[in-house]
Structures are given as C-alpha cells and as structure tokens.
Amino acid sequence: MKTKNTAVVDEAPIESLPALNKRDPEWLRRFKDGKYLFILVLPSIICLALFYYLPMYGISIAFMDYKPFLGFIKSDWVWFENFERFFKYRFFWRTIKSTFLLSFWSLVWGFPAPIVFALLLNEVTNTKFKKFVQTVSYMPHFYSTVVVVGLFTLFLAPTGGLITRFLSTYFGVQNLNILVDAKYFRTIYILSEIWQGMGWGAIIYLAALTNIDPQLYEAAVVDGAGKMRCMWNITLPTIAPTIITMLLLRMGQLFNVGFERAFLLQTPSTYETSDIISTYVYRRGLQANDFSYGTAVDLFNSIICLILLVVSNTVSKRVSETSLW
C-alpha cells in the first residue's frame, strides 16, 4: 500500500503537465513551452512595433523630393540625389571628422570612467561612506542635459565663473573664454558627459562585481597577492564579459553623438569642432525645412553605426566568446 500511494503521488504532476504535440511546428512548441514569458514581453514588443518599426516607413522620404502638402504618394522620387548632395557638401569631411573625433574621445575617456569608478567603490569598506558616494555620483544622471550644460556654462563663464576665477587666481590665466574657443569644445563636452553619466554607468559593473566568489580573493591573499594583483587577475577577468558587451553596444553608437549636449554647447565660433552630423541634420532638416535631405544624412549616419556594430560584434566573436548574437 505504501508503494502504491507513492506511485500515485509521483504520477500526478506528470499527468497535469500540458501535452505537446510532436507534429506541431518548432516555433509553436517553443511558444507553448514559454507562453507566459512571451506574454510578459508582449507590451515591449508592441511599443517597439508602434514607435520604432512602424515609423521606419518615413525613411523613404530620403529618396524623395518630399513635399509635406503632397505627401508620400505624390512626392517625386529622386533616389540617391540627396545622398549625393551630402557627399558634395563643402564641409562634408569636416563634419565626418568632428563626429568621429568627438565619439572616439568620448569612448576613450568616457567608457573606462564607470569601470574605474566601480572598481574603486568596490574597495571601500566603510558602508556609510560608500552609500554616500554612490548617491552623490548617481544624482547628475537625473539632471536634464539642459541643466548640466547650464551648470558648465556658469562654471566656465569668462567673468564670475567658478573655474575661470580659480584659474585666474591661482594660475594667473586672464581673459579666458573657453566656451567660444573651438579647441576646448571636445574637452568640455567629454567632461560634462563623464560627470553626468559616470555614477549611473557604474551600476552595471557594481552588479557584476557582486557575483565574484569571495573565496577567490581569500585564496589569492593566502598566496601573497596584493590588491592590484587581485584586481588584475580576478576582478577584471570576471567582469570582462560585461565590459565587452557594453563596449559592443557603445561601438554601435560611435557615430550617434548626443545631439542635445552638442547643440547646447556649440556656438558659430566653434563650428570647426562642434558641427557634427546630428546638429547639421537639425539645421538642414528642421530649420531649413529640407526634410528629404535631413533624412538622407541621418540615414547615412545610421548605416555607419550599423556597420560598426556588425564589425565590432564579429571581431569580438572571433577574439573572445562574448558577442551580442
């Protein structure tokens, strides 16, 4: 009797499982296996379809002489004329160069900043001080770009600015107007970006650091390893997949420089280094009402970003085992 009852109890859950028909297509069987997960992500899929993929029909105006009053159907097709106009633009190479250099230096200085900050915070043993530093460093992320640029404008004002007064008092630098000097634009842009995003960007790496087994550090200390050796041989290799994934995502946005910050910081005197693709699209596409031309330039920028993402992912897949797909 005891054996019989046990068999009945063991068989009950098996009978309650949903039956899968082996004749069903593979995608249908996968859907039945994880139908609740699909339902969970359904709102996100709907948002992507409505606000990202459906509006992509508007890309077609890059190949038209689009007139708003005529619409998509009656506007004339000019195919690649808008792209040819951009390639013949007299400041074409200057715009490409400014966009690339601004993105490149933002990547060189801005990408390692959250990693270094997370590694330093991970070494802090005082819990209250660590939480205080985290809170203070996260706060700039919630400021709008307009506020951040406004703060830097006040700090760098030629008269009365906090930074300019410091430089004039302790270093004797006089008549310093950084905001209208083209050679300082990239420095200001990158510093403001790092200040705003460093603390928030460190959250991902701090989460990755919590998954490291403490016994690895204990064994390394027993073998005589110091903090730097532990960081180099244990910490960095462990969070390397996270670093590579974030780097790949950043590479896909290499030419997609933040428009708001660049537009708010630039002045006509800084166009040499501040006039990037996104600000040029704004001036030509919206201010000059040349919608087809602006769309063509922005589409060209998106294609470059896609190529960079695919190339970076391919290289990462061959060099390491980490990739986006």
Q: What are the pLDDT digits (tens) for 12-62?
A: 444 444 555 666 677 777 777 888 888 888 999 999 999 888 888 888 899
229 pLDDT exceeds 90? Answer: no
32: in domain: no
Please state the length of the chain.
325
7 pLDDT exceeds 80? Answer: no
102: in domain: yes
pLDDT averaged over the chain?
Answer: 84
The H or E element that residue 76 is part of is strand 76-77
Mean pLDDT confidence for 266-276: 88
Name the phi and psi angles at 89, rounded to 5: -60, 130
- pTM to 2 decimal places: 0.80
253 pLDDT exceeds 70? Answer: yes
What CA–CA distance (Å, rounded) separates 193 from 164?
20
Q: What pLDDT is attached to residue 21?
A: 60
- Domains: count for the chain: 1
pLDDT digits (tens, 9 = 90+) for 157-214: 877 778 888 877 777 777 678 888 888 899 999 999 999 999 999 999 998 888 888 8
What CA–CA distance (Å, rounded) separates 192 from 64?
39
231: in domain: yes
26: in domain: no
223 pLDDT exceeds 50? Answer: yes
53: in domain: no
206: in domain: yes
11: in domain: no
35: in domain: no
Structural domain that includes position 109: 91-141+198-319
Mean pLDDT confidence for 111-135: 90
86 pLDDT band (50/70/90 cuts)?
very high
Q: What pLDDT is attached to residue 198?
A: 92
- Could you please report the per-residue DSSP string of 307-318? HHHHHHHHHHHH
Specify the CATH number for the domain of residue 217: 1.10.3720.10
Q: What pLDDT is attached to residue 127?
A: 87
Cβ-proximal residues to 81 (8 Å cutoff; 6+ apart), any chain: 65
